[in-house]
Amino acid sequence: MRHFGHSPRRLRSDGGTFDHRYPPGKVSDSGLALQKLVADVNGKRILEVGSGTGHWLEFLNAPDRFLVGLDYSRGMLSNAQIKGVSADLVQGDAGQLPVKPGEFNFVYCVHALHHFASPESFIVEAQRMLCSGGVLAILGSDFPANRENWYIYEYFEGVYETDINRFPPWKDVVGWMVKNGFELIELDEVEHILDYKKGADVLRDPYLQKHACSQLALLSDGAYQEGMSKIESDLVQAEEDGRQIVFKSEIAIMMLSGRKAQ
Ligand SMILES: C[S@@+](CC[C@H](N)C(=O)[O-])C[C@H]1O[C@@H](n2cnc3c(N)ncnc32)[C@H](O)[C@@H]1O
C-alpha cells in the first residue's frame, strides 16, 4: 500500500499517560472479543482507525497479518513508534481515509468513534476501504448511559453533558451501517467493567489522571483541578466523619460489527 502523511520518524511524543489504562500483561474481555472476531473472519489485511498508541495493533500482531494504524495525532503515532509497534503507522483523518479502496478485509476502531468530527463519514470511508465481504468492527463504551454509573461525572462539572453530545447512540451507528451497505450486523456487550475504589484509593485510579481519558483531557487545567479538589475535600470530610466513600465505575463495552455486502 502507499504510505501517506508524514513519516512517523519525524513525529514527537506528547507524553504517555494514555497507556496507564492498559496494565501490562492484562488482557481485557473486549480485547479477547476483538481477537476472536478477527480470527473468525480471517482478518489478514487490517486497518485500525484512531489507533492511538498502538495497543490493539500490538495485541493483534501475527506473522500472517498486515497491520496499519491510522491516527490524526502525531503525538499518539509517535508513542506507538517509540513502543516499536509492528504496523505501518499513518497520519490521517477518519473522515477521509488516505488509503486505496478495497485494500483491507478488516477495519476497526476502539474507543475512537466519538472523537471523529463525523462518525458517519468514518463508516462511509470504512466501507470504501473494505474489500467485498470485509468486516468493520467498532468497539466503545456505552457512555453516557447513566450519570450515576461513573464517579467522574459526579465530580467534574460538564463532563456528562459533553459526553451526551460526543457519543453517538449505538442505534444511530447501526442505522449508518445499514444505510452504507453493511449486512450481518451484530451489537453485543463484550465487557462489563464494575469497579469500586474505596476512600483514597480513588487517587490511584489511572483514569483520574488528566490525560488518561478524553473526558478529563478536554477540561481546562482549572476545571480539572476543581474536580480533583472536590474529591480531596470529600475524602477529608469523610475521614473526619469516620465514613468511607466508595467511588463507582460501571461501564459496558460494546462491539458493533458488520460485513460489507458481497
Ligand atoms: C481514546 S483514543 C483510542 C486509541 C486506541 N484506539 C485505543 O483504544 O487505545 C482515540 C484516538 O482517536 C484519534 N483520533 C481522533 N480524531 C481522529 C480523526 N478524525 N481521525 C483519526 N484519528 C482520530 C485520537 O488521536 C486518539 O489517538
Check pocket membership of 93 for ligand 1, CB cut-off 6 A.
yes
Give the per-residue pLDDT at 19. 78
> Whole-prediction pTM value?
0.90
**pLDDT tens string for the chain (262 positions)?**
334 343 433 333 444 677 777 877 788 999 999 999 999 999 999 999 999 999 999 999 999 999 999 999 999 999 999 999 999 999 999 999 887 899 999 999 999 999 999 999 999 999 999 999 999 999 999 877 778 899 999 999 999 999 999 999 999 999 999 999 999 999 999 999 999 999 999 999 989 998 888 899 999 999 999 999 999 999 999 999 999 999 999 999 999 999 999 8
Q: 213 CB less than 6 Å from ligand 1?
A: no
pLDDT digits (tens, 9 = 90+) for 193-202: 999 999 999 9
pLDDT at 133: 97
Ligand 1: centre distance to CA 136 (Å): 16
Ligand 1 close to Cβ of residue 156 (< 6 A): no
**CA distance between the termini of the chain:** 23
* Best probe residue, ligand 1, of 11, 18, 68, 76 (max atoms within 8 Å of C-beta): 76
pLDDT of residue 5: 40
What grid cell was written down for 22?
492498559
- Whether the Cβ atoms of residue 57 and residue 35 lie closer than 8 Å to each other: no
Position 191 scores a pLDDT of 96
**Domains present along the chain, CATH in parentheses:** 8-260 (3.40.50.150)
CA separation, residue 183 to residues 40, 103, 186, 247 (Å): 16, 19, 9, 41
To test the pocket of ligand 1, the residue of 11, 20, 71 to mutate (highest count of ligand atoms within 8 Å of its CB) is: 71
User: What order of strands is seen across the sheet that includes strand 66-71?
Assistant: 88-91, 66-71, 45-49, 104-110, 130-141, 246-260, 182-198
Asked if 81 and 72 count as a contact pair (C-beta separation under 8 A), the reply is no
The pLDDT of residue 15 is: 40
CB neighbour list of residue 203: distance below 8 Å, 6 or more residues apart:
231
